[in-house]
Structure 1
């Protein structure tokens, strides 16, 4: 399979929408049935994608695992809120080991809600017993950060580990300087 096949698949299934539906809890079996019904020529591409899902992940952002480990060692409560397929979430920790350092992770595909929907933040607030005013929400998506901010969370749009460290230090968290 070459890049042209992959791009044709992405376009045919409107991959951002396809992926959002997976993150919202659609099963891969249902996704395959829909692709077979509407784009049968792309079923084999979907099969290759799902069989090699781990290879599609870009891996951790440099320095993030160290920051998360440092926060954990400082006794900071660490929770994850991720837009991710329930069936593929087992691939998260191998790709980004910081996931395994968190006390708990709320996976969108398991609750049928995705960021930036305010309801998923409400689920997280209840599940993790959070006070938004005392919680820093970190995400690389402007839409997700904006939604969290509207609900009273302190926020940081993540760009890199150094920026995260700087924001944490501004908040009085004793992480080392970058």
Structure 2
């Protein structure tokens, strides 16, 4: 099946997103494991990704857990240190596709304020042809509604969309709607998939 548009997830596809790694370096692995066992920080972040105010959500969690308050506030105050570094080969592929006139979109679980902040640090986040950011959409992957909303805005049939994401649940939900999918486990495998689809030549896909 031909591909009319390529859709990128962002976290762990274009930018590494490893909060546990950040906290390990700041407070040590033992304390980080204790904090994550006591508080569901990823659920907190899901609220941000669904459109709630970034600072308010994080600071509310800090106030509710005073024994971890300083550490929780880092999720907001030092967020860019968690969302780093960029994955250069993936950025290269994004730009290679666009240079050929292939529509490239993002579909990402990302908060409104955090996405705006990330764009100040990563210029390629402004380079998509279409933006599907969960914070603005009010729903997060893998809820089927978010894929339906993309389809409602798409000029292409669902089976002509190729979507890559690092999370298997997100891929499965897209596949269930008929999208073509690629489970991202590194940029080299993604490059190979794009070559197999005839979207890029080997020379075009290799940085």
For normalisation by structure 1, the TM-score amounts to 0.87
Counterpart in 2 of 1:40?
Answer: 66
8 Å contact from structure 1 (residues 61, 160) kept in 2:
no
Contact 2:62 2:70 in 1 (8 A): no
Aligned residues: 177
Question: Structure 2: 5+ residue runs without aligned partners?
Answer: 1-25
Contact 1:140 1:159 in 2 (8 A): yes
Separation in structure 2 between the aligned mates of residue 52 and residue 157 of structure 1, nearest angstrom: 29
8 Å contact from structure 1 (residues 118, 147) kept in 2: yes
- Residues 30 and 55 of structure 1: CA distance in aligned 2, closer, same or farther (over 3 Å): closer
Matches within 5 A, 1:2-151: 2-3=27-28, 5-27=31-53, 28-37=55-64, 39-93=65-119, 96-151=122-177
SS in 1 for 2:163: strand
1:45-97: per-residue Cα shift (whole Å, max 9, x none)?
22233111111112222301111111000000011010112121123335554
The structure-2 alpha-carbon separation of the partners of 1:2 and 1:177, relative to structure 1 and needing over 3 Å to count, comes to closer
Provide closer, same or farther for how the CA distance between residues 84 and 42 of structure 1 changes in structure 2, counting only shifts above 3 A: same
Q: Distance in 2 between matches of 1:86 and 1:13?
A: 23
Q: Structure 1: which 5+ residue stretches go unaligned?
A: none
Q: Do 2:140 and 2:146's aligned partners in 1 also have CA atoms closer than 8 Å? A: yes
- CA spacing shift, 1:96–1:151, aligned 2, 3 Å: farther
Show CA shifts across 1:15-74 (max 9, x none): 22222222122323144224423x122222222331111111122223011111110000
Higher relative contact order (CA 8 A, sep 6+): 2
> Could you tell me the TM-score, scaled by structure 2's length?
0.76
For the residue of structure 1 that corresponds to 2:198, the secondary structure is coil
Separation in structure 1 between the aligned mates of residue 189 and residue 123 of structure 2, nearest angstrom: 20
Distance change >3 Å, CA 138–CA 97, structure 1 → 2: farther
Cα distance in 2 between the residues matched to 1:34 and 1:162: 38
Structure 1 runs of 4+ with >6 Å offset? none
For 1:35 and 1:46, locate their aligned partners in 2 and report how far apart those are by CA, in whole Å: 5
